[in-house]
Chain A
């Protein structure tokens, strides 16, 4: 079907891009504000709230336990930030482009991870391993995009389904996998640079690149435009299909990057391990104020968000709470963030 023959989205007709696009057209001011035609950057308020909450948490924890402000805490937090941060950038791109969420993150992480350790076990050069990780991650994203675009199915349904299929495939492929302890990747994963974990810096680079280029590059602007209003984007000559493909392939490649960090720092894994990263990733983008309705969000805030959430889990260990009581607070943060996102959406429709 040619894109210009797609049904009108504002009328609520099913579309190749799913029901999340079947909503009223947004005023173009959203796009303009994202591109910087406004003095205050997108998400400034959210950023201030996160920094305030983060600062209060650090201050409160330091007052309660002075040893909270130690290099050990910094290491614990930054190690936790690395993998979730990279996955969250991919998830944020999906959300900004109007595809709401990618629920296949667990498979997207473990599939390239399995490829990495398999190739390392065969003595393949690390640079080829890195390329393979990116390729496998990208291929997974392409697989999702093919079903979404040509099957004309809601991305959430597709990625939920492919994640189940992927989990089954992973269970067939392997039962447990190990990064060789003596490998360069394992040694790099335990190493530090400028006092912070080596695996932290690629995450920082990914956030910086995404934060800078998404509002400025052609592909990035197309993602925002399609997420904001597919109808308006199409009227501007933007290909919905190409944009959808680009988003999922880039997100998949970021999963490949996350897989490199994962296999470098977590040397023993099983097919189900990826599921531990889905909720933190969702919490990170929701707290960062990335609009699940698409078209808005500041990727720099992902850094603040993942830092704040990672600090919460570390700080809880300082309060002497039973390990059982350390689990509800991150869930509560997610619930509060989802509520705020819902409130924000209702307010934006008025």
Chain B
């Protein structure tokens, strides 16, 4: 009995020793399992939005978060607040927060781009930029030149049919601060008009600074029109709807509204119930929907197959969005911003607004 007891005690002690040893042996496996669970945390996509007080910039953040939700990713959206300091600070936040990819709309700090990209590169975070190309980042943007030319051609056709191309004045309302975007978009519109009406002499084309705002384009337009008081047949192109409408309003103030027609860009003032009757059309970009166009690229990054960044991001973007030129009559059937945003976010991930709303596909 005593031997049995002794054996039982020894066996129990041995078992008691083996179990912890086995448990200890299993610890690394458990740690590994925990680590595996941690590495399976969802792909995190982050975005710095423009913060210029424009609805589509807020919308881009909303659409990105909607996509992340549909894809099972996590997301962080911060406003760059149209400030260089905030933009740079946001880069630090994105890096510390462990973002797997960052989307930037950065209108405020072109001078900080090399430093920002160096930080992202050191943290091995791929970056996608919207509309403002940055070396080292994937560029997703509208084809501004095509947008300009197509809008100009549509206005040119109207000039041809209405006035047989006998134009007295073609006003191009620029926003020089936008750089190449202005050159391609506004310059493209002039090219488009001249495609249809090549007989319009260069002397009839007058450039002014509209600043991208009605309140800047309006006085500038008054001055240009006053300087050509005998012009009867006047057409206006510009970098966006605001500069074109500002110039049209100037003509109305000078009592010359019967003489003027215009075609805008960006579609911001061609929908709704308050459209100026002299704005004959515009070109939609559906800016708020850009993240949908970037989705295939984000999926490749999430899958660990990020493509190489193209060297010449400016003229050779990773994703080139298609512009959608529309007449004012067609634009009446295009939903307003809020309705578009709502429908887009309710659609399957990857659905573009161009596919949903453009009447001239």
Question: Interface residues, chain A, CB within 8 Å of chain B?
Answer: 65, 67, 70-73, 75-76, 79-80, 171, 175-176, 178, 180-181, 190, 192, 197, 265-273, 276, 313-314, 316-318, 322-324, 326-327
Contacts and interface: CB of A to CB of B under 8 A. Distances in A.
B225 A72 contact: yes
B219 interface: yes
4 closest residue pairs by CB, A with B: A317-B223, A76-B226, A317-B227, A273-B215
B222 A79 contact: yes
Given A72-B254, A76-B226, A317-B226, 7 more contacts: A79-B222, A268-B269, A276-B211, A313-B219, A313-B223, A318-B227, A323-B174
B96 interface: no
B243 to A, nearest CB: 11
A65 B227 CA distance: 9
A192 B253 CA distance: 9
Contacts of A271: 53
Nearest to B222: A76
Interface in B243-280: 245-246, 249, 252-255, 268-269, 272, 274, 276
Contacts of A76: 219, 222-223, 225-226, 254
Interface string B194-213: 00000000000001110101
B227 A268 contact: no
A181 B274 contact: yes
Interface of B: 52-55, 174, 176, 207-209, 211, 213-216, 218-220, 222-227, 229-230, 242, 245-246, 249, 252-255, 268-269, 272, 274, 276
Contacts, number: 102
Contact of A75 (B253, B268, B276): B253
Nearest to A199: B253
A79 B218 CA distance: 10
Contacts of B226: 70, 72-73, 75-76, 314, 317-318
Nearest to A276: B215
B251 to A, nearest CB: 10
A251 B11 CA distance: 97
Contact of B242 (A70, A181, A268, A326): A268
B222 A80 contact: yes
B153 to A, nearest CB: 24
A309 to B, nearest CB: 11
9 contacts: A181-B274, A271-B53, A272-B52, A313-B219, A317-B227, A318-B226, A318-B227, A323-B174, A324-B209
A16 to B, nearest CB: 33
Contacts of A272: 52-53, 213
Contacts of B255: 75, 192
Nearest to A71: B229
A324 B268 CA distance: 26
Contacts of B252: 190
A67 B230 CA distance: 9
Contact of A171 (B53, B209, B269): B53
- Interface of chain A, main secondary structure: helix
A267 B213 contact: no
Given A267-B249, A323-B208, A178 B227 contact: no
B338 to A, nearest CB: 11
B53 A265 contact: no
A169 to B, nearest CB: 11
A319 B272 CA distance: 39
A175 B249 contact: no
A175 to B, nearest CB: 4
A73 B225 CA distance: 9
Contacts of A324: 176, 209
B136 to A, nearest CB: 31
A197 B253 contact: yes
Given A79-B222, A266-B215, A276-B215, A323 B254 contact: no
Nearest to B54: A175
Given A276-B213, A317-B224, A266 B218 contact: yes
B274 A178 contact: yes
B253 A273 contact: no
B214 A75 contact: no
Nearest to A121: B274
A172 to B, nearest CB: 9
Given A67-B229, A76-B222, A181 B216 contact: no
Contacts of A327: 209
A257 to B, nearest CB: 17
